[in-house]
Amino acid sequence: MAAELDLTALPQCESSKALDILGVTQDDTAASLDAAKNRKRQSLSDLFTIFASGFALISDGYQNNLMTMTNVLLKKEYPKEYTTTVSTRVSNALLVGEVIGQVIVGLTCDYLGRKTAIVFTTLMIVIGGILATASHGVTTNGMFWMMTVARGIVGFGAGGEYPASSTSASEAANSIIPEHRGPAFIMVTNFPLSFGGPFAVSIFLIVLMACHEAHYSTVWRVCFGIGCIWPLSVFYFRIRMLNSVLYRRGAIKRHVPYMLVLRYYWKSLIGTCGAWFLYDFVTFPNGVFSGTIISSVVHNGTIRQTGEWQLLLGAIALPGVFLGAVLCDRLGRKPIMMIGFSGYLIFGLIIGCAYNQITKIVPLFIVFYGLMQSSGNFGPGNMLGLLSSESYATGVRGTCYGLSAAIGKAGAAIGTQAFLPIKNHLGDRWTFIIAAICGVVGVLVTWIFVPDLSGEDLRLRDENFRAYLVAYGWDGAMGEGDLQAYAGQGDQGDSPVVNGAKTET
C-alpha cells in the first residue's frame, strides 16, 4: 500500500508522519532503496559481464587461430630454420599454456571469485601478446624460443578465460534470462571463439596487403600486436564487474570436499573431459594446420590465395554455431552433441576415402572440409562449454569446467604434436580418417557418460549438491558476504530449496 502513495509532495515532517502511520520507518525505506540500487547495479553488472565475456573471448579465438596463417608465413620467411619441429613447438606453446591456465584459473575463480580471475587472465594475454610482438634473439632459433615462451603466456591467459569468463557468463545469464540461458551462453562463448578463426585470417590478409605481400616480419608482428587490443577494450568493464549472486550464494572458499565432489560428479567428469579431449584432438590441429593443408592442395598458390581459401573455410564453419544455438533447447544438449560427432564420421570418411579425387577440385574440398568443422561447432563445440557450465554446482563449477577444458586442450596438444607425423608417414587422407574414428568414439562417450540436461535453473543443481554434502556430513561454509551460510542452513534469499540428495547420473 505504501508503494501506491505519493509521499514526495508532502513536507518532510508530514511525510515522516505518514510513514509512521503506515508502520514504515525511515530506516526501512532507506534499506529498501539501497536494496533496489544494489539489485539494479547487480543486473547491470550481469549484463556487462555477458557482453564483456563474449567480446573478450573473440581475442581467445583470435589467438587460437593466429598461427594458422602465421605458420605458412614463417615457413616462407625462414624455409630452413622453421622446421616441422619448430612449427609444432610454437603452435603447441599456446596449448600447453592453456592447459595450465585452465586448471589454475579454474581453481582460482572458485576460491577468489570470478572477477579476480578474469582481471588476471586479461593481463596475461596482453603481456604475452606484447612479448610475442617483440620476439627477438641473437639467432633466429633464439627468436623462435622467445616466441614460444610468449605464446605460452598468452595461452595461460586465454586458457584461464575459459573457466573464468564462461562460468561468469553462464551465472549472469541464469540471473537475467534463465529461460534462454543456453542460446545466450553459446552466442557469447563458442561463437566468439569460432568467429576468431575467420577474424584472424581477415586481419592477416589486411596487414599482408598493406605490406604489399612482402615484409613478412612486419606482418606477423603486427598481427600479434593487434591481439592485445581486444582484451584491453573490455578491461574497464571487467574491473567494475561484480561476482554473480549465484556465486556469492554458492561459493565454497575453504575446505572443499573434493572426494565428495568426485563421488558425486565422476560420471559427468568422464563425459565432459573425454568428449572435450576427442573434440580438441580433431579440431585444433585441423585449425592450426588447415593453412598448411590448403597450401599443399592449392599447388603453386601464393600466401594471399591460401589466406582467401582459409577465410572461406572459416566462414563455412560458422553456421553450425548458430544452428546449434537455435536447437539446443528444442532437441536437447546431449542429442545435438551426438549429431555433431556424427558429422566428423560422415565428412571425415568422405574426405579421407576420396582425398585424391576431392583435392583436384579445390572448392569442393573446402566445402567438405568446412562442413566437417561446422558439424564440430554445431555439436561438441557448442555443447561442451554449455554442459560443463550446467552440470556442476557453483562452488566447484570453475574447477570442473577448467579441468574438462584442460583435458580437452591436452587432446589438442597431443593432436597437434601427432598431426604432422601422421600426415608425413601415413598420408594426408589419414588425418581425416582419424577424425572420423574420433567422431565414433565421441558419440559413444557422449551417450554413456554425458548427462542429459535441460535448461533448468542453476540454483536447483546447487541445492541438490548442498543437500548431498550435508547428507555425507560436510558442514563447511558456502557463499560470501551477506549471502554466506553453513551448508546445513539451506539457501539464502528467495531461491527454491530442493529436498533430498541424488547422486549424479
The label of the residue with cell 576460491 reads 111
In the predicted structure, residue 504 carries a pLDDT above the cut 50: no
When mean pLDDT is compared across 110-114, 223-227, 390-394, 486-490, the lowest value belongs to: 486-490
Instruction: Output the pLDDT for position 499.
Output: 34
Q: pLDDT-based confidence at 490, cuts 50/70/90?
A: low
CA–CA gap between residue 237 and residue 322 (Å, rounded): 27
CA atoms within 13 A on the CB side of 491: 20
Other C-beta atoms closer than 10 Å to the C-beta of 305 total: 14
How far does CA 463 lie from the centroid of its chain?
26
Q: Structure pTM?
A: 0.80
CB 376 within 8 A of CB 337: no
Q: Where do the structural domains in the chain lie, given as residue ranges?
A: 40-461
- pLDDT digit string, tens, across residues 347-361: 999 998 998 888 888
The sign of the CA dihedral 443, 61, 68, 95 is: negative
Please indicate whether residue 308 or residue 407 has the higher confidence score (pLDDT): 407
User: Hey, what's the cell of 223?
Assistant: 598481427
- pLDDT digit string, tens, across residues 72-107: 888 888 888 888 888 888 888 888 898 899 889 888
- pLDDT digit string, tens, across residues 33-47: 666 676 777 777 777
User: Hey, what's the cell of 177?
Assistant: 534470462
* Average pLDDT of the residues in 487-504: 46
Instruction: Output the pLDDT for position 339.
Output: 95
Instruction: Output the pLDDT for position 482.
Output: 65
Max intra-chain CA distance, the chain: 90
**Any idea which fold 40-461 has?**
Growth Hormone; Chain: A; (1.20.1250)
CA–CA gap between residue 171 and residue 418 (Å, rounded): 37
Averaging pLDDT over each range in 38-52, 168-182, 291-305, 426-440, which range is the top one? 426-440
Q: List C-alpha distances in Å: 484 to 251, 270, 489, 491.
A: 9, 31, 10, 9
When mean pLDDT is compared across 15-29, 57-71, 96-110, the lowest value belongs to: 15-29
User: Hey, what's the cell of 145?
Assistant: 624460443
